[in-house]
């Protein structure tokens, strides 16, 4: 979706890109040495300059430093030493819109959870390269992307921004996104380090969890992504973990990140997450969006401290070197990128490909889908399907140039100032238009769904009724339960009663419950599908695209199945976007209940059946897997098997391999997955290396894999497993660095 001007520019830029590198930025061969050399020439004022980030727009009466572009933030550079300013924009779905303040939009990719549902790291890397290139075209050299918090709380208002619930899957997918972004010489973050499981009360919630649980889940996702993609930066989170705030946690930022993992880039705070100067000593390198905090701690106060206290002086040098390391390692260049309003000309194609691969066919009975070609009347109902597809709210919101197609105020007092952030918005191609384009002679009618009776009347005489149902999520607020809000459950039930051939298209940020499930033959989960989502949905409905998305999170049957059926704090906190709570207020939440057994791992232990399991996703064809062979008896373990398309249509499947028991104890962990596109009757041989830490327990500061029988099973999803194959493994340990193997 580009203006003609942007299209012309993008086309010429794309042509240039094909012929030559986009810019002269270059990664240094030895970034640490270069960082040390440049840092040594700096004054303390210059070092401090690199540790303090500002909002990029006028805020609280303070104008941003010179050179800011409307976006998330800016850190002034040191031109005399060829150190560029850091111009930062959000986020994982593209270069954000900031209410149109820049005057242009950008390619809006599907949301993080949709990206996770593709189970296709190559595609996500392509998306990363696309949004990285657009960041550069728009004048930014830092993209605040790579959201990989695991879904511990299904009602988290930012579930849509993250990849899923499994550490291996989120780690690989996050790594792919970062690699793509940084291939464009743009620094990417991984965020939010760590856990950040809830939005309501996020500034004062305290996650209580033991170290092994943390290491084997949320931290493992970050560890895997960092090792594979070397992100230039990490963003610490708003929440506390076992007491300290994440951005002031020595355990997270120094013990784990530096001492154990040897991370070399820099840690920036989330916006408004810094409470004191001594966060610097805990390991924080950069205060971001500092106007949002109580003080500009990493400016004057840090400078003064460094000049009087050797501990601060040493840290200041290190903090500056960490920032410089990222600049040289990612090779962002000496100058800030020139600002244009161009987009990458591949934007629509990548957004479409991602949206298509993200759609999950949850249910399909009696051949309800794909739609028959001979329908005479199709009733399309609800979900603003006549306008566009939903986007999540908050800092990650991306809009194409033309802006929102529909906007619904969410009417919370303070929200009016942040309407561009918080309002419900719909964007891109309208599903109704894309359906009409494919419907041939059929009459396509639309009802907005406000009145179930009216919708039921429209559905009654139709060959098929397609109901679009949405759940809105936004940063800052959790959803209180897993229902479809408003009257949508009643709407679906009424339409299904009027017309048994009712297809539900869910556009949600995460799991919802489906009281009407038995009454409808087919359900698609399309998530927040980005600017081309309408096209992708129609193409799946009409069978041009064979769905291949799989659930990256479990869909519980009810909130009773969640580890904490009552959302922690729901009865204590007044939902509020900017709410910092009272001084000293905390909200303790016990995340030791599930420990490291998030989502499907928890269901495997309890024996409960979710509504739809992690990994679930149907196709218009059938797949079979066989001949699972395991090789190895220690850390170098691998698996081989065949995946076959046994149906009549070309399609892609995600083969999944799970550990299902260790030493006779039930323990489920995803240890590998592979997506393969296959013609009917064709098969592919799949080989997976099994990451040994996925088999391990964290004990006494290292990973321990006890000797014994380990059983693995191929699965179409976490709940539909084949006959397990066992292998005997000899005991081994892996040091906290993730590499050194011992006894
Ligand atoms: C979000 C971050 C974002 C930052 C800058 C915060 O509200 O939590 O994810 O990168 O704002 O916009």
Q: What separation in Å is there between the alpha carbon of 395 and the centre of ligand 1?
A: 6
Tell me the percentage of the chain whose pLDDT exceeds 70: 96
Cα 678 to middle of ligand 1, angstroms: 40
191 Cβ inside 6 Å of ligand 1: yes
Contact 114, 354 (CB under 8 A): yes
Q: Which pLDDT belongs to residue 418? A: 84
- State if residue 693 touches ligand 1 by the CB under 6 angstroms criterion: no
At 13, is the pLDDT very low, low, confident or very high (cuts 50, 70, 90)? very low
Q: How far is CA 38 from the centre of its chain?
A: 35
Question: What confidence tens digit (pLDDT) does each residue in 293-304 have?
Answer: 999 999 999 999
Nearest to 484 by CA among 476, 496, 493, 495: 493
Nearest to 350 by CA among 175, 191, 130, 507: 130
Atom number of ligand 1 nearest to Cα 96? 12
Q: Check residue 410 and give its pLDDT.
A: 80
Q: 660 alpha carbon to ligand 1 midpoint, in Å?
A: 37
Tell me what the pLDDT averaged over the chain comes to.
95
Quick: pLDDT tens for 679-722.
Answer: 999 999 999 999 999 999 999 999 999 999 999 999 999 999 99
Instruction: Give residue-wise pLDDT tens across range 128-186.
Output: 999 999 999 999 999 999 999 999 999 999 999 999 999 999 999 999 999 999 999 99
- For residue 19, pLDDT beyond 60: no
Classify the phi-psi angles of 726: left when phi > 0, otherwise alpha if psi is within -120 to 50, otherwise beta. Answer: beta
The answer to whether the CB of 144 is under 6 A from ligand 1 is: yes
Is the confidence at residue 411, as pLDDT, over 70? Answer: no
pLDDT classification of 20: cutoffs 50, 70, 90:
very low
Distance 271 CA to ligand 1 centre (A): 6
pLDDT at 516: 98
CA 504, CA 526: separation in Å to the nearest integer? 10
Backbone angles phi, psi at 626, to 5 degrees: -155, 180
Neighbours of 376 (CB within 10 A): 12
Scan for tokens 């104890």, then name that residue.
665
Judge if the beta carbon of residue 90 lies within 6 A of ligand 1: yes
Q: Report yes or no: 288 and 240 within 8 Å, Cβ to Cβ.
A: no
What is the C-alpha to C-alpha distance for residues 596 and 660, in angstroms, rounded to an integer? 15
Whether this prediction's pTM lies above 0.85 is answered by yes
Kindly state the average pLDDT of the residues 409-421. 75
Helix (H) or strand (E) holding 672: strand 665-678
Q: What is the pLDDT of residues 430-463, one digit of tens each?
A: 999 999 999 999 999 999 999 999 999 999 999 9
Give the per-residue pLDDT at 158: 98
């Amino acid at each position: 979706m580009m203006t003609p001007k942007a299209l012309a520019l993008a086309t010429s830029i794309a042509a240039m890109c094909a012929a030559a590198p986009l810019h002269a930025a270059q990664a240094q061969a030895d970034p640490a040495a270069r960082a040390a050399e440049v840092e040594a020439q700096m004054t303390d004022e210059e070092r401090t300059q690199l540790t303090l980030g500002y909002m990029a727009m006028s805020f609280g009466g303070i104008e941003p430093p010179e050179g800011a572009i409307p976006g998330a933030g800016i850190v002034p550079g040191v031109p005399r030493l060829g150190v560029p300013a850091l111009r930062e924009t959000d986020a994982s779905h593209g270069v954000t819109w900031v209410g149109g303040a820049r005057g242009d939009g950008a390619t809006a990719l599907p949301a993080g959870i949709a990206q996770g549902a593709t189970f296709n790291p190559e595609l996500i890397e392509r998306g990363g390269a696309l949004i990285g290139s657009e960041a550069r075209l728009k004048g930014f050299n830092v993209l605040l992307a790579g959201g990989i918090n695991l879904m511990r709380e299904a009602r988290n208002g930012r579930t849509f921004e993250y990849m899923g619930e499994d550490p291996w899957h989120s780690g690989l997918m996050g790594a792919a996104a970062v690699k793509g972004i940084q291939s464009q010489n743009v620094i990417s973050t991984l965020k939010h380090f760590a856990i950040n499981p809830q939005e309501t009360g996020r500034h004062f919630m305290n996650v209580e969890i033991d170290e092994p649980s943390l290491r084997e889940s949320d931290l493992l996702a970050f560890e895997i992504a960092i090792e594979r993609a070397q992100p230039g930066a990490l963003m610490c989170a708003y929440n506390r973990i076992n007491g300290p705030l994440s951005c002031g946690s020595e355990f997270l930022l120094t013990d784990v990140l530096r001492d154990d993992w040897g991370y070399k880039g820099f840690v920036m705070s989330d916006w408004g997450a810094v409470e004191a100067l001594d966060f610097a000593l805990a390991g924080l390198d950069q205060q971001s969006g500092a106007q949002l905090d109580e003080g500009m701690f990493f400016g004057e106060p840090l400078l003064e401290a460094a000049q009087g206290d050797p501990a601060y002086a040493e840290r200041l040098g290190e903090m500056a070197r960490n920032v410089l390391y990222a600049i040289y390692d990612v090779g962002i260049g000496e100058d800030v990128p020139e600002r244009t309003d161009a987009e990458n000309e591949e934007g629509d194609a990548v957004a479409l490909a991602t949206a298509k691969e993200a759609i999950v066919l949850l249910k399909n009975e009696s051949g309800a889908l794909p739609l028959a070609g001979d329908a005479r009347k199709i009733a399309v109902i609800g979900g603003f399907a006549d306008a566009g597809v939903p986007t999540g709210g908050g800092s990650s919101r991306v809009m194409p140039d033309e802006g929102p197609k529909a906007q619904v105020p969410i009417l919370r007092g303070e929200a009016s100032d942040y309407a561009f952030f918080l309002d419900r918005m719909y964007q891109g191609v309208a599903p109704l238009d894309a359906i009409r384009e494919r419907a041939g002679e059929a009459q396509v009618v639309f009802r907005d769904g406000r009145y179930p009776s009216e919708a039921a009347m429209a559905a009654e005489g139709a060959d098929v009724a397609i109901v679009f149902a949405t759940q809105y999520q936004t940063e800052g607020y959790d959803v209180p339960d897993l229902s479809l809000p408003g009257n949508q459950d009643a709407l679906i039930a009424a339409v299904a009663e009027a017309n048994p051939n009712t297809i539900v298209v869910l556009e949600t940020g995460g799991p919802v419950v489906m009281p009407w499930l038995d009454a409808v033959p087919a359900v698609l989960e399309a998530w927040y599908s980005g600017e081309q989502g309408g096209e992708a949905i129609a193409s799946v409905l009409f069978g041009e695209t064979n769905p291949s998305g799989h659930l990256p999170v479990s869909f519980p049957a009810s909130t009773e199945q969640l580890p904490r059926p009552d959302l922690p704090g729901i009865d204590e906190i007044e939902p509020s976007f900017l709410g910092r709570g009272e001084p000293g207020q905390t909200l303790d939440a016990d995340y030791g209940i599930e420990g490291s057994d998030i989502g499907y791992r928890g269901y495997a232990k309890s024996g409960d059946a979710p509504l739809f399991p992690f990994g679930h996703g149907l196709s218009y064809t059938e797949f079979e897997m066989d001949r699972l062979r395991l090789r190895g008896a220690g850390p170098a373990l691998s698996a081989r098997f065949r995946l076959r398309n046994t149906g009549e249509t070309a399609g892609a499947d995600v083969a999944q391999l799970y550990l299902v028991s260790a030493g006779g104890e039930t323990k489920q962990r995803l240890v590998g997955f592979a997506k393969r596109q296959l013609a009917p009757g064709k098969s592919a041989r799949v080989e997976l290396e099994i990451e040994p830490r996925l088999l391990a327990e964290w004990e006494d500061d290292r990973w321990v894999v006890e000797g014994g029988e380990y059983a693995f099973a191929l699965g179409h999803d976490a709940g539909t497993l084949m006959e397990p194959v066992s292998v005997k493994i000899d005991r081994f340990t892996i040091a906290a660095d993730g590499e050194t193997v011992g006894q």
